[in-house]
Amino acid sequence: MNESRANLLPGEGERLTVCQFMERALYDPAAGYYTRNIRSVGGSSADFATSASLDPGFSDALANWIEHEISTAGDLLCGAGGNWHLIELGGGAGHLASGIQRALGWSGRRRTQYHIVEVSPVLREAQSSTLGRKARKITWHRSIEQALSAAGGRAIIFSNEFVDAFPATVVQWDAGSDAWQEVYLEGRGRGRMAEVLLPLSAECANASVVFDRARWNSLPLVDGQRCEVSFSWRSWLTNWLLQVDAVSLLTIDYGDTFPELYRSRRNGTLRAYRQHQRREGVEVYADAGFQDLTVDVNFTDLQHWGETAGLETATFETQREFLDRFGNVSTDREPTPAAAFLRDPSGAGEAFRVLCQRKH
């Protein structure tokens, strides 16, 4: 094992929270999955695909939503230079940006400025390649704060499979102590490690709907139940939301409301993907830096945290409902298999949720 990869793992006697391990494994500058080792997004050689890489109609729907937000908000969202600023969070391989630019057309591109917030140099290069000549219309940033500064504090912000990439705090219910505990990884030397449970900090104990016992009434809260809480996303949101005057924020991701998210999921939702192969259990800690780590999104937390920070929940719906509202539905031809998959009520159409939040 090379030295940079070894630094992702807890050293002998060292304890890392799972959240800290995910941060290292995904974003370490020298050996992280997103910063160094991801190949691309979409295609047989990638570790996973996104809706935008599967079907161009997905980008059409996002472009129609953008036009709807501009029409609804009027000049409230008009930012620096008299333009409407579009900020995509985590641009994947550039398929969504390319598709939106195409769908907006010449007039739409003329009155908008497109920004991509991307921390991965590998993916920034892939985005530029996918966009080709359209890349001249794109401005890249390493943080949303930089993008919002360029936009003058008014923007239309959107993401697809972005929140699930945030490192998550993993907790486990201990019936014996009648309390939640946090999962840590303890280094045992020679690259070996083991999970240990330690008390959850008092600061975290009331900060998520997961810890509200009354909300578990419809599900049995059993010994060993695991959940993930995206405290890192909450911190990220509250840090930048202070500097905006007006914003429309669209979040598309796989997940559900609480507590339905954990129905029949005693082991939680943390998993890894490598070359389209799903890994669970202790395998999520293997191949650190060379596989994606992800959790399902708890949209009840996202809505609550957003409202607490000053965002209004405008709409919350399934991906199928969103595509039915904003997609370009043609009646003269059958939908492609990919388009049908994205709307499938027994698949991606229900597994993905769409949350629109606004501060106007």
pLDDT digits (tens, 9 = 90+) for 181-213: 999 999 998 889 999 999 998 778 789 999 999
Q: Classify each residue of 284-304 as buried b or exposed e, where b means 16 or more C-beta atoms within 10 Å of its C-beta.
A: bbeebbbbbbbbbbbbbbbbb
Residues of the chain predicted below pLDDT 70: 1-6, 40-49, 52-53, 329-334
How many residues can be counted in the chain?
360
Identify the CA nearest to 211 among candidates 261, 264, 255, 173: 173
Backbone angles phi, psi at 308, to 5 degrees: -65, -35
Question: Cβ distance 19 to 235 under 8 Å?
Answer: no
Q: Is residue 141 part of a domain?
A: yes
User: Model-level pTM?
Assistant: 0.93
Q: What is the pLDDT of residue 98?
A: 95
Helix 56-73 vs helix 95-110: angle between axes, to the nearest 10 degrees?
40
Helix 231-241 vs helix 144-151: angle between axes, to the nearest 10 degrees?
20
Domain count for the chain, please give it: 1
Q: Is residue 246 part of a domain?
A: yes
Q: What is the pLDDT of residue 6?
A: 65
- For residue 175 the two structure tokens come to 């019936």
DSSP three-state, residue 298: strand
Q: What is the pLDDT of residue 155?
A: 97
Q: What is the pLDDT of residue 254?
A: 96
Q: Is residue 144 part of a domain?
A: yes
The CATH number assigned to the domain holding 338 equals 3.40.50.12710
From residue 340, alpha-carbon distances to 199, 204, 328, 346 in Å are 46, 41, 13, 11
From residue 98, alpha-carbon distances to 29, 128, 136, 307, 317 in Å are 27, 10, 12, 32, 25
- Which secondary-structure segment (H or E) carries 43? none
Q: What is the pLDDT of residue 331?
A: 42
Q: Is residue 307 part of a domain?
A: yes
Provide the residue range defining the domain that includes 106.
Answer: 36-167+230-359
Q: What is the pLDDT of residue 332?
A: 45
Q: Is residue 30 part of a domain?
A: no
Q: Is residue 190 part of a domain?
A: no
Q: Is residue 342 part of a domain?
A: yes
- For residue 47 the two structure tokens come to 């570790």
- For residue 77 the two structure tokens come to 């969202």
Q: Is residue 182 part of a domain?
A: no
